[in-house]
Structure 1
Amino acid sequence: MSVLVRRLAAGAAAAVLAAGLPAPAAAAAPGYHPSDADWADCPRLPKGATPDTWSCIFIITVGGTMRLGKIEQPLTAPLRITVAQGKTAGGGTAAAFGAVKGERMKVPGGLIGKPFEVPKLTDVYVETEGTGRIEAGPIFPTGVGIKIRMIHPLLGGKCYIGGDSRPIVLNPEIGSLDLTSIDGIAVFKATAKDDRFAVPKASGCGLNWGLVNSAVNLRAGLPSAAGQNSADLQWYVRGKSYTELPDLVS
């Protein structure tokens, strides 16, 4: 069994199910309740991979902050990341992308920033989406590519910071990883941080892309070089071996 599976599956099972050991203390996780829906976006097992060396990993961000240029965004809504990682036939490690799904969040300061914001009129919302980019990491997959859609009537439906060809690439470092439980189900509680990623310019904004893009970039302080942005993340993490996901094994 892979190191990843031992850490996320066997480790939890051993701690919670072994006879004579108490279940881990319950964690407060407002709005998150583990369920089979956590595995809905697990990718299919890559061709040639063996199920017992691969696991699907579900990560839900339940708090924290992201600073992108001049925008400091509290993570007030869940961000769900589903990826997979395991061994290749040659003995290396590989990762597969499942999904990144973020719920809508309001941007502090709105379209023009404080103190000039006008409630409702200048309110801007963001949603985080995946780009399909993923790399294998020592414990969790890393190099996760995201793009952020900005939502306001003046911005149209294709206003993004980052994109499929120029994603924001997150490489979070794990600060802590502790076993706990929610609703009697074992999960890992983790903190992660990344302050090394760059943020590209916005694109696709409004009818006059050049003018509106420039206004968005001025407001957000983009592009923003590596070292000027940060992500402080509070996670809950679950892992399941592909031996328990037969429908995803070719």
Structure 2
Amino acid sequence: MSALARCLGVGIAAGALLLSGLAAPAHAASYQYRPSDADWADCPKIPANAKVDTWSCLSIVTVAGKIKLGKIEQQITPPLRITVAQGQLNDGSTAAVFGGLRSQRMKVPGGLIGKPFEVPKLTDVYVETQGTGHVDAGPIFPTNVGIKLRLIHALLGPKCYIGSNSNPIRLNPQITSLELTSIDGVPVFKATAKDDTFSVPGASGCGLNWGLVNTAVNLRAGVPSASGKNSAEFDWYIRGKSYLELQ
């Protein structure tokens, strides 16, 4: 049995034990996912002391969902793909490596000043999700994936972020449903997940006067926001591939 088959088999078995209240995906998929070789484009290099036959590259594609950060509630409409790898090291411990995050810009509801004062185009703000390289090994899938959000508007400058490489938003979604399906004859996991435990740091790098504009962004977005005041729900398609096959 291949490492990938073992990985996926363990995932199903563990899921059956750990998951409760299984339900169908909560959101209508806004993106028609089709598996392809592009799923492996960001598979990272694994550690030199890795047990290669235990490592798999995981492509996790978010096709729908929603996220609440402080005062901002955002529907996830374009596809967002995170690629990570996980496996054992020679000493028997487990490790994970971040591969990449690919996303498209999403329009922030209410824009720069919020409803009902928004002015189309003039106050429109877009958000771009970026990876920070943070990821930890988990029992089924990697956990604590670090992200940061770039806020895009002329008044905010090119480096306006919520979260950073040194202080990321750490997502740790818990799987609430998991099933093995087939798309175009390719085995794919279909999953839903949610997280309501992560915290959100304040803004940084916004505008020419960072202190003043950062404060304005924080007031608008309701950040920093402590654990329990934020939430995320995701509809995923997940593929895994052994590094024995990737070599």
TM-score under structure 2 normalisation?
0.89
The aligned runs of 1:67-78 (5 Å cut-off) are: 67-78=68-79
1:143-174 deviation digits (Å, cap 9, x = unpaired) = 10000000011111100000001000011111
Q: CA deviation at 1:9?
A: 7.8
Judged with a 3 Å threshold, the aligned counterparts in structure 2 of structure 1 residues 97 and 2 are, in CA distance, closer, same or farther, namely farther
1:107 aligned partner, one-letter code: V
Q: Distance in 2 between matches of 1:69 and 1:2?
A: 44
Q: CA deviation at 1:245?
A: 0.7
The residue that corresponds to 1:21 in the other structure is none
The residue that corresponds to 1:233 in the other structure is 234
Q: CA deviation at 1:41?
A: 0.3
Q: Does 1:221 align with 2:229?
A: no
Q: CA deviation at 1:31?
A: 3.3
Aligned residues of 1:175 and 1:191 also touching (Cα < 8 A): yes
Q: Distance in 1 between matches of 2:78 and 2:7?
A: 27
Q: CA deviation at 1:7?
A: 4.1
% identity of equivalent residues: 71
RMSD: 2.0
Aligned residues of 1:4 and 1:140 also touching (Cα < 8 A): no
Aligned residues of 2:84 and 2:100 also touching (Cα < 8 A): yes
Q: Distance in 2 between matches of 1:6 and 1:79?
A: 27
1:241 aligned partner, one-letter code: S
The residue that corresponds to 2:6 in the other structure is 6
Q: Distance in 2 between matches of 1:79 and 1:143?
A: 17
Q: Distance in 2 between matches of 1:214 and 1:11?
A: 43
Q: Distance in 1 between matches of 2:236 and 2:57?
A: 16
Query: How many aligned residue pairs are there?
Result: 232
Judged with a 3 Å threshold, the aligned counterparts in structure 2 of structure 1 residues 7 and 235 are, in CA distance, closer, same or farther, namely same
1:110-157 deviation digits (Å, cap 9, x = unpaired) = 111111111111000001001011100010000100000000111111
Judged with a 3 Å threshold, the aligned counterparts in structure 2 of structure 1 residues 228 and 11 are, in CA distance, closer, same or farther, namely closer
TM-score under structure 1 normalisation?
0.88
Q: Distance in 2 between matches of 1:143 and 1:32?
A: 25
5+ residue gaps in structure 2?
13-28
Q: Which moved more, 1:130-139 or 1:85-94?
A: 85-94
Q: Secondary structure at the match of 2:83?
A: strand
Judged with a 3 Å threshold, the aligned counterparts in structure 2 of structure 1 residues 215 and 84 are, in CA distance, closer, same or farther, namely same
The residue that corresponds to 2:156 in the other structure is 155
Judged with a 3 Å threshold, the aligned counterparts in structure 2 of structure 1 residues 9 and 104 are, in CA distance, closer, same or farther, namely farther
The residue that corresponds to 1:30 in the other structure is 31
1:6 aligned partner, one-letter code: R
The residue that corresponds to 1:43 in the other structure is 44
Q: Does 1:130 align with 2:131?
A: yes
Judged with a 3 Å threshold, the aligned counterparts in structure 2 of structure 1 residues 2 and 155 are, in CA distance, closer, same or farther, namely farther
5+ residue gaps in structure 1?
13-27
